[in-house]
Structure formats: structure tokens, C-alpha cells
């Protein structure tokens, strides 16, 4: 389902006018039709709901694997597809068949800037920027490092963009946010919408969790 269709599903639930088929994703579409302020708000709430869903679970559809080949004396490497919303699941040294442990900021900077630099086989890692990973000890040679991460999708911006996570849950989430924005029915309608969104999210998480092995089950709260 494309971005325009998702926005329209929310607008229909709200009993509002839907976007025309000419809408491109911009405030002014390709046919020069003006998108009204409320339609623009709903298009933004769809992306907000998308982020809520993405941040609720390590979805299998968002998982990616990146690699870094180390070189002696260099501790920091760029992982091009990561951003500030990415989550690292596991870091593996394939050369030595070992799993690296996560290291706190405090410990990383203590090692890096206090005392003598230590080189050896990396045993811990730290994200030092949205798309950079550092290892300690500083690699003393070439090691093949594999990084398993969750990579949230960029915001939908074009009318034809499609979702990577559950469309139905995002629609319910955007509807919930829209009702909350309106403040209708003394909060009754939005309370029901919250419950429906949470139920749908929990169901989607359970279904995705059942596709993987040895995962912790998370539920909406």
C-alpha cells in the first residue's frame, strides 16, 4: 500500500476529504492542487505513527547486515546505512568466530584518551556516531566484523512510497494520533483508538517474533 493510500485510509476513518490521485507527497502536488492543512497534518502523523511502530520492536523486515574489514591501528569505521535511529543487535568477529560486547561511553573514552593505546583482537564495540562503530582494543590487523542491526525506514515522502512495517498498525496509529490531536468526545474515542492500536501492535509483534528463534517477546504498553 502506497503512502497516499495510507493517508487516505486515515482520512476516511476521520470522515475527511481524501487526497486526489494527483498528489505526489508534497504540500502542492504535481497538478497544482492545494493540499489542505488537515490533510498535511495526517500525512505527517502517518510518519509519526510509522516511527512509533518501528521503535516498538526489532522487526525482521528492518534488519540488515553490514560488514567492516579492520586494519591495524584504526579503531573507528563507517557503516553507511546506519542512522541515529538504528539499533545494533549483534556484532560478530567472523575471523575469530567471536561475539563482541557493547561498551559504555564512559569506558570507551577512558580507554581511548587515558593511558596507553592498546592494540589486539577487538573484544568490545561502541557506536561513536549515528553511522560509525569503534572497536577496543584497537585492531592490530585485519578482522572481518559482521554487524547485525535494525535499520528504520526513512520517512515516507513520495505518494508512491511503501511501508516496510505493518500498514494496518500504522493506519491505526495515525488514526489514534489524529483523534488525540482533535481531543474529541472527551477523550473517549481516542481511548478506544489507543486500545485498538496497542492490540494490533502486540499481535504484529507476536507474529514477527514467531518468525525468529530465541527472541524476547515485547508487547505494547
> Measured between alpha carbons, how far is 79 from 200 in angstroms, rounded to an integer?
33
Over the chain, what is the mean pLDDT? 89
Query: 112: pLDDT confidence band, cut at 50, 70 and 90?
Result: confident
pTM above 0.75, yes or no: yes
Angle between helical axes of 37-54 and 3-13 (0-180°, round to 10): 110
pLDDT greater than 70 at residue 187: no
Across 162-184, average pLDDT = 93
Q: pLDDT value at position 146?
A: 97
pLDDT greater than 80 at residue 174: yes
For residue range 201-219, what is the model confidence (pLDDT) as tens digits? 999 999 999 986 555 444 4
Across 92-104, average pLDDT = 97
pLDDT greater than 90 at residue 117: no
> Measured between alpha carbons, how far is 100 from 88 in angstroms, rounded to an integer?
11
Query: By C-alpha distance, which of 69, 91, 67, 90 is closest to 80?
Result: 67
For residue range 48-87, what is the model confidence (pLDDT) as tens digits? 999 999 999 999 999 999 999 999 999 999 998 888 899 9
Across 121-145, average pLDDT = 94
Residue holding cell 587515558?
114
Q: Residues 151-187, buried b or exposed e (16+ Cβ, 10 A)? A: bbbeebeebeeebebbbbbbbbbbbbbbbbeeeeeee
Query: By C-alpha distance, which of 153, 123, 160 is closest to 49?
Result: 153
Query: By C-alpha distance, which of 61, 16, 23, 67 is closest to 42?
Result: 16
pLDDT greater than 90 at residue 99: yes
Across 154-168, average pLDDT = 96
Among the residue ranges 68-72, 138-142, 182-186, the one predicted with the least confidence is 182-186
Whether 150 and 86 have beta carbons less than 8 Å apart is answered as yes
Whether 174 and 44 have beta carbons less than 8 Å apart is answered as no
For residue range 24-44, what is the model confidence (pLDDT) as tens digits? 887 555 454 568 889 999 999
Whether 152 and 102 have beta carbons less than 8 Å apart is answered as no
pLDDT greater than 90 at residue 92: yes
Q: pLDDT value at position 219?
A: 44
Q: Kindly state the greatest CA–CA separation across the chain.
A: 66
Across 145-167, average pLDDT = 96
Amino acid at each position: 500500500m502506497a503512502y497516499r493510500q495510507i493517508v487516505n485510509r486515515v482520512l476516511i476513518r476521520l470522515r475527511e476529504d481524501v487526497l486526489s490521485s494527483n498528489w505526489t507527497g508534497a504540500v502542492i502536488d504535481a497538478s497544482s492542487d492545494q493540499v489542505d492543512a488537515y490533510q498535511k497534518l495526517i500525512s505527517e502523523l502517518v510518519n509519526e505513527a510509522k516511527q512509533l511502530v518501528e521503535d516498538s520492536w526489532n522487526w525482521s523486515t528492518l534488519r540488515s547486515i553490514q560488514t567492516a574489514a579492520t586494519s591495524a591501528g584504526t579503531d573507528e569505521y563507517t557503516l553507511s546505512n546506519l542512522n541515529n535511529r538504528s539499533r545494533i543487535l549483534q556484532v560478530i568477529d567472523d575471523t575469530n568466530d567471536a561475539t563482541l560486547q557493547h561498551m559504555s561511553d564512559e569506558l570507551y573514552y577512558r580507554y581511548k584518551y587515558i593511558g596507553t593505546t592498546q592494540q589486539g583482537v577487538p573484544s568490545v564495540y561502541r557506536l561513536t556516531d549515528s553511522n560509525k562503530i569503534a572497536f577496543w582494543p584497537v585492531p592490530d590487523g585485519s578482522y572481518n566484523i559482521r554487524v547485525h542491526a535494525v535499520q528504520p525506514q526513512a520517512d515516507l515522502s513520495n505518494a508512491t512510497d511503501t511501508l516496510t512495517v505493518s500498514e494496518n498498525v500504522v493506519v491505526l496509529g495515525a488514526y489514534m494520533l489524529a483523534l488525540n490531536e482533535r481531543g474529541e468526545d472527551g477523550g473517549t474515542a481516542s481511548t478506544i483508538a489507543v486500545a485498538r492500536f496497542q492490540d494490533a501492535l502486540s499481535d504484529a509483534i507476536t507474529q514477527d517474533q514467531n518468525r525468529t528463534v530465541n527472541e524476547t517477546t515485547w508487547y505494547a504498553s
